[in-house]
Amino acid sequence: MTGLPRRRLGRTGLMVAELGLGAMDTPNSSAGADTVNRAIDLGIDFIDTARDYEGSEFLLGQVMRGREPEGLHIASKTFSRNINGSQWDVDKSLRILGTEHISLYQLHDVSTMEAWEEVTGEGGALEGLQVAQYRELIGHIGVSSHDNEILRLAITSGHFDTVMLEYSAFFPETAELIDLAREHDVGVIVMRPVGGSGRTSVMRGRIDEGYQGALRPANLLRYVLSHPGVSVAIPGARYPSRIEENVETVSSYTAMSDAERREIEQEAANFYE
């Protein structure tokens, strides 16, 4: 391994390892603390959590209180849609994480036009995060979404320093949004880079049964990180071994060729057939 490459997280100016950790499911393991510690030990410096990920902020807080790692960027999220709720969530995140500052705070899963209008309108959650930013409690503001039109609005609105979206061989269509974000200098955080929604478990089961094709976690990570507009990919992990596998891949991968991308996209399209 040669160490994790780094990328700029859009106009935040933060330089982060291109492999992060999505900590939603990490608490659902007796090895959760070991997993987070292993991630930090191996150079992962961007960890994503949320107020609604049960036990996740608490776990990260316990780990950070024990070691106080320098250069670690925590990103959390609020599901609140109004100004008071988002400020309350920031304050609670700070207490649970045991820190005075959070690098990035995001509006969580803004995936309908109704939600978009609510969070960006007068008295919306965006205003609450702007207040928290003014108070220097958070560094930057982002948004996560599963809707491409909402993501397009977020990227071009000027309100957000980052967007979190789903991109993989299973969801290649979001590549154009990544290109758009790059044009606007908006950082791109990729959720579910190795499948998600149960796909990863099915994939690993097939590999255990002797599958020899291209559709495997290491290649899916290569696929995502081959796009130069991606800032950081955040696969989830419950065990240190998964962290080690991902770090090994990202430390030594080469970008995919067009032919390799087409092959893995085709296999992903036929995944459930």
* Residue in the structure block whose two tokens are 């849609």: 81
| pLDDT score of 155 | 98
* Six-digit token string for 211: 């599958």
| pLDDT score of 1 | 46
| pLDDT score of 67 | 85
Where do the H-state alpha helices sit in the chain? 32-41, 56-67, 83-97, 113-120, 125-134, 148-157, 175-183, 199-208, 217-225, 240-252, 258-269
User: Which positions ≥6 away from 270 have C-beta within 8 Å?
Assistant: none
Return the percent helix, strand and coil in the chain, to nearest 5: 45, 20, 35
| pLDDT score of 2 | 55
pTM, 2 dp: 0.96
User: Which positions ≥6 away from 71 have C-beta within 8 Å?
Assistant: 45
What is the homologous superfamily of the domain 6-269 according to CATH?
NADP-dependent oxidoreductase domain (3.20.20.100)
* Six-digit token string for 181: 């974000």
49, 1, 62: which is closest to 21 by C-alpha? 49
Amino acid at 41: D
* Residue-level pLDDT, tens digit, the chain, 273 residues: 458 999 999 999 999 999 999 999 999 999 999 999 999 999 999 999 999 999 999 999 999 998 878 899 999 999 999 999 999 999 999 999 999 999 999 999 999 999 999 999 999 999 999 999 999 999 999 999 999 999 999 999 999 999 999 999 999 999 999 999 999 999 999 999 998 868 888 888 888 999 988 999 999 999 999 999 999 999 999 999 999 999 999 999 999 999 999 999 999 998 876
Could you tell me the residue ranges of all domains in the chain?
A: 6-269
Pair 144, 109: CB distance under 8 Å: yes
Where do the H-state alpha helices sit in 135-171? 148-157
* Six-digit token string for 1: 């391994």
Cα–Cα distance measured from residue 92 to residue 195, given in angstroms and rounded to the nearest whole number: 31
The β-bridge relationship of strands 102-107 and 138-144 is parallel
